[in-house]
Amino acid sequence: MTALPPGATIGILGGGQLGRMLSVAASRLGYKTCVFEPAGDCPASHVANFHLQAGYDDVGALARFADAVDVVTYEFENIPTSALDALEARRPIRPGRRALAVSQDRLTEKAFLTDLGLTCAPFRDIPDLAALQAALADLGTPAILKTRRLGYDGKGQVRIDSADQAGAAFDAMAGADAILEGFVDFQREVSVIAARGLSGEVVCYDPGENVHRDGILRTTTVPATLTASQRMDAALLAGRILNALDYVGVMGVELFVTPGGLVVNEVAPRVHNSGHWTQAGCAVDQFEQHIRAVAGLPLGDGQRQVDVVMENLIGDDMDRLPDLLAAPATQVHLYGKAEVRAGRKMGHVNRFTAA
C-alpha cells in the first residue's frame, strides 16, 4: 500500500460536475487527471490534464485510458460491467467493484444493508404485476415503484397512492426490473458523507439536512437538526457500510430520520451533491478527501469550521446569478455547462450562516 507520488495521474470515469471538482481537488494535491467521457466539451474536461473522449463500450479506448493513469475512480455508479472488466485487468479501481455492484441495483443494495443489520424502507422484488399487487397489499400505500437500476434525481420512480394505480405504475417501468418500496414517514432527510482510506481509516463529515423538490436535491444545511445520538448513529452506520465493502473513497449515505431511528434510503459510491457544502465548511472537502483515499494518502481533516447552506442552481436558477455573485458570505460554483436546461444542475452556492 503505497501512496501515489505527486505528478501521478488519476483516471476519472465521467466528465460531469463531480468529475470537474474531483479534478480540481487532484490538482491541489499535485496530481494530474485524465477524464474518460463520451461527450465533448464536458465540465471536467475544462480542468483536467487530459480528456479521453470515447464510449464506455470502446474497449481499446478503455485500455489506453487505463495505461495512461495510475488509479481509476469514477463520478457515477452506472458504469457498464464490461468497462469495469477491461479496466480492472490493468489498474486498481477505487472504490472497488463490490461497492458498485451494491449501488447499481436497488434490490442488491437493500439486501446488503439489511444483512448488515441496518434499517431500510420495507421493499419487495417486483418481477411482474402480480408481485406488485401482492406487495401493495402487504406494504400498503403510499408506496414507490422504482427501477432496480439506472435511476437518479427522481427518474425511474413512480409513486403509487392506491392499489388501483398498480397497472399504470407497472407499465411505466417499461419492462425494467423493479422493486416496490414502502412509505417511510420521516421527519427529515439527512445524509452522511463518509470516507475510508486505503489503510482502513474512516472519517465522516457532519451530517447535512437535505431538501428535495421534484426528486432533485435543492438545499443541504449543516448542521442538520439531529440529536447527539442520531448524529452518532449516522456515523456508526456509515462506518459499518464502508468497512463491510472494504471501501476506498468517499460515499454518500442518504438517511431518513424517523421517530424509530435512522432509515437508510440509499448509498452512492462517490462524492455526493449533498457534500458540496464541505468546500466552504472544512479544511479538506469531499472531493479532496476522495482523491486522498484513492491515491492512498492519509485522509484529511473534515471537521466543520463554519455553518453552511448549500443550494443547487438548477435550470433557470441561473437567472439569479447576478444577485448571487453580489451576495455576502456566498461562494458560487459553476459547472461550465454551455446550455441551461430545465432540471439541469448548472452550479451551486455555499452560504456561510451564523456559526
Residues making up the annotated binding site for ATP are: 106, 146, 151-157, 181-184, 189, 212, 265-266
Residue 202 binding its own copies, by CB under 8 A: no
CB of 184 to its own copies, least distance (A): 36
CB of 4 to its own copies, least distance (A): 12
Q: For the CA atoms of 108, 82, 69, 93, what is the dihedral angle to 10 degrees? A: 20
| Among residues 1, 7, 174, 228, the one that binds its own copies under rule CB under 8 A | 7
DSSP, res 246: T
| Sign, Cα dihedral of 333, 339, 341, 344 | negative
| Sequential DSSP letters for 177-211 | -EEEEE----SEEEEEEEEE-TTS-EEEPPPEEEE
Q: Per the annotation, where are the binding residues?
A: 106, 146, 151-157, 181-184, 189, 212, 265-266
Listed in sequence order, the residues at least 6 apart from 64 whose beta carbon sits closer than 8 Å to its beta carbon are 52
Residue 47 binding its own copies, by CB under 8 A: yes
Residue 42 binding its own copies, by CB under 8 A: no
- Whichever of 315 and 336 has its CB closer to its own copies, that residue is 336
Near its own copies in 284-313, by CB under 8 A: 284, 292, 297-298, 300-301, 303, 305-306
190 in Cβ contact with 255 (< 8 Å): yes
- Whichever of 44 and 132 has its CB closer to its own copies, that residue is 44
| Among residues 108, 119, 258, 331, the one that binds its own copies under rule CB under 8 A | 331
Residue 20 binding its own copies, by CB under 8 A: yes
| Among residues 129, 130, 176, 329, the one that binds its own copies under rule CB under 8 A | 329
Listed in sequence order, the residues at least 6 apart from 58 whose beta carbon sits closer than 8 Å to its beta carbon are none
Peptide bond into 223 cis (omega under 30): yes
Residue 315 binding its own copies, by CB under 8 A: no
In the numeric block, which cell numbers belong to residue 275? Answer: 457534500
Alpha helices, H only, the chain: 17-28, 59-68, 81-88, 97-104, 106-115, 129-139, 166-172, 228-244, 278-281, 286-295, 321-326
Site string for its own copies, 48-87 (x = CB under 8 A): -x--------------------------------------
Residue 326 binding its own copies, by CB under 8 A: yes
Peptide bond into 38 cis (omega under 30): no
Which range in 68-76, 161-169, 185-193, 329-337 contacts its own copies by CB under 8 A? 329-337
CB of 21 to its own copies, least distance (A): 9
Cα separation, 269 vs 176, in Å, equals: 23
Which range in 25-33, 163-171, 180-188, 217-225 contacts its own copies by CB under 8 A? 25-33
- Whichever of 155 and 320 has its CB closer to its own copies, that residue is 320
- Whichever of 174 and 354 has its CB closer to its own copies, that residue is 354
Cα separation, 78 vs 63, in Å, equals: 19
Near its own copies in 224-283, by CB under 8 A: 280, 283
- How many angstroms separate the Cα of 259 from the Cα of each of 38, 49, 230? 45, 49, 11
Through-space distance between the first and last CA atoms of the chain, rounded to whole angstroms? 39
311 in Cβ contact with 218 (< 8 Å): yes
Binding site residues, its own copies, CB under 8 A: 3, 6-7, 20, 23-24, 27-32, 45-47, 49, 280, 283-284, 292, 297-298, 300-301, 303, 305-306, 321-322, 325-336, 338, 347, 350, 352
